[in-house]
Each structure stands twice: as structure tokens, then as C-alpha cells.
Amino acid sequence: MKCRNVCCYRWSSEERLDGKTAIITGANTGIGKETARDLARRGAHIVMACRDLERAEEARTDIMEDTGNENVVIRKLDLSDTKSIRAFAEIINKEEKQVNILINNAGVMMCPYSKTADGFEMQLGVNHLGHFLLTYLLLDLIKRSAPARIVVVASVAHTWTGLRLDDINSERSYDTMKAYGQSKLANVMFARSLAKQLQGTGVSVFSLHPGVVQSDLWRHQHQCIQVAVKIFRIFTKTTLEGAQTTIFCAVESGLESESGGYFSDCAPARCSRAASDDETAQKLWEISCNLLGITWQ
């Protein structure tokens, strides 16, 4: 059921997740925290995959007190370092009997040029490559946990640009907006490609735009923009509202036939033509594997 309020499309359902396990990256703030809170309220075992353990602990306490669900754990994950991603996955593969929902939510937007520990441009490295590797390392467990879902928090920013396949790490030139747009385009393409690969396995994959959300994501923007996001509330969402499409994709029953789809305001939406280009998506897949040193057909 949707509330058709002009901007927020709050979605509600009674769906329960008792006995299910959900991993949410970047769950200590913003959309990720509200997603974790909602899934905890539905009874899921929550793994908060966070870089900042202090802030994660505060968020965990808040979520547990609010929902009464004490089955919420924090595991360290820094998506800008493949060693951290591998260490996280090793712990999950050892500790967790199942992973029914993986939410690739963490992200960084329009930051000054910097590189991850492995030399990838930061936005591509965290938003796309980090989650690509994480999904790869958890996929066997996710498949064994089917029915399962992988939800990729992308953005309408995927329409801002195409992929720069000849300079994917923006080493020749860097435009903060285009690099963010590219990383989000990679998110949508990854979700589409993965959904195709996982047909018949019981694992569904979705990507989505959460809306323009009043979160910390804007920290690298000019102060005027940060203020505008907060002031023009009619055009923007609270983090609770911004989490609704993620929760919808993770929880709504009967969505499996839409696997590979892109969502906005808790409904299927059209992604850009570039995002539906299967040939480029295949090249992106190969480049991602090469950069990460993995074989994933």
C-alpha cells in the first residue's frame, strides 16, 4: 500500500522477516540506517556492515531500543579496501548460516579526487567495485539461502553520463558529477546483468533511486546545496521516506518477476538507454573482474 503524498510515497506492509538474515552496507546513517531499522522491526537478523564502528554502535543501540529486536550485529566493512571486503565476507561466510537479503547501500557522492586502497577512483571503487566484489564473495551463501534478494541502491544520477570504458578510473580527467553518475550507472548495469545470470536460482536483483534525500551524502557539496536540500522539503525526502523504495524491493512479495528492474517511489521505473545497453554492461562486467582480479562468468 502506498501513501500517494506528492513527494514521499511512503510504503507500508505487514510482511515479516522472522528467521531471515539481512546485510545492509552503510547501515549506520541515512537511508541504510532507516532500512536496517525497518527490517529489524519485521524480525530479521540484521548485519550492519559499517566502516565507522563507533557510529555503528550508536545506530545499533538506537535500532534495538526502537524495535525491541536484539538480533542486530555490526561487522566492520570498508568498501574502499578490498582486504576489508574479503575479511568481512570471510566472517559472514563463517558465521552466518544464510543471507536472504543483501542491500548494497553504502555510497559516497561527488568527493574530491582520491583513490581507494587498491588504486580505484573513490566513487567507482566504493559505489560499484566494492559492492561488486562483496556480492561475488557472498553469492554462494546467498544462493543457498534462496529465495533471496540483492538490492542495489543506485540513483537517477545514472542518467547523467555514460561509462568511460577507456578511463574508468578518471585518471586522465576527473569531473565529480560525472564520476558519481558513472558509478551509479554501473550500479544499474550490474543489477541487470546479475539478475540475468541468476535466473532460475531463486535470487532476485533490483536497483533503485531513493529520491533526493536529506542525508549526509551531500557533505562534499557547496553549503548552499546542503541548505537547499533541507529547505526545499517539498522536493526532497527524509531518510525514512528515502528508505521506502529499498525496503519495498527487499520485502514486497511477488516482485521476483521484476528481477533486474529499476525502481523509484516503490514502483518500477525506466532506467536510461545507456543503462539498458547489454553490450556495454558485459564490458563493464569484464573490466570490473579484471580490476578486482576475479573470475566471475
Ligand X SMILES: NC(=O)c1ccc[n+]([C@@H]2O[C@H](COP(=O)([O-])OP(=O)(O)OC[C@H]3O[C@@H](n4cnc5c(N)ncnc54)[C@H](O)[C@@H]3O)[C@@H](O)[C@H]2O)c1
Q: Which stretch binds ligand X (CB under 6 A): 71-79, 170-178, 196-204, 258-266?
A: 71-79
Which residues within the stretch 79-108 sit at the binding site for ligand X (CB under 6 A)? 79-80, 105-108
Report the sign of the C-alpha dihedral through residues 70, 43, 206, 91, in that order. Answer: positive
Our answer to whether residue 113 is catalytic in this structure is no
Q: Give the residue, chosen from 39, 46, 137, 153, that forms a contact with ligand X under the rule CB under 6 A.
A: 153
Which of residues 77 and 99 has its CB atom nearest to ligand X in the complex? Answer: 77
CA distance 19 to 236: 34
Backbone phi and psi for residue 154, each to the nearest 5 degrees, phi listed first: -100, -140
Neighbouring-strand partners of residue 150: 102, 205
261 contacts ligand X (rule: CB under 6 A): no
The DSSP letter of residue 11 is B
Q: Which stretch binds ligand X (CB under 6 A): 25-33, 90-98, 193-201, 279-287?
A: 25-33
How many residues are there in the chain?
297
Q: Give the residue, chosen from 8, 23, 32, 74, that forms a contact with ligand X under the rule CB under 6 A.
A: 32
48 contacts ligand X (rule: CB under 6 A): no
Is residue 124 packed enough to be buried (19+ CB in 10 Å), middle (13-18) or exposed (0-12)?
buried
In the bound complex, what is the minimum distance in angstroms from residue 125's beta carbon to ligand X? 8
Beta carbons of 100 and 42 less than 8 angstroms apart = no
Nearest to 22 by CA among 267, 211, 243: 243
x/- contact string, 164-203, with ligand X (CB under 6 A)?
----------------------------------------
Which residues within the stretch 212-241 sit at the binding site for ligand X (CB under 6 A)? 212-213, 215-217
- The catalytic residue positions are 180
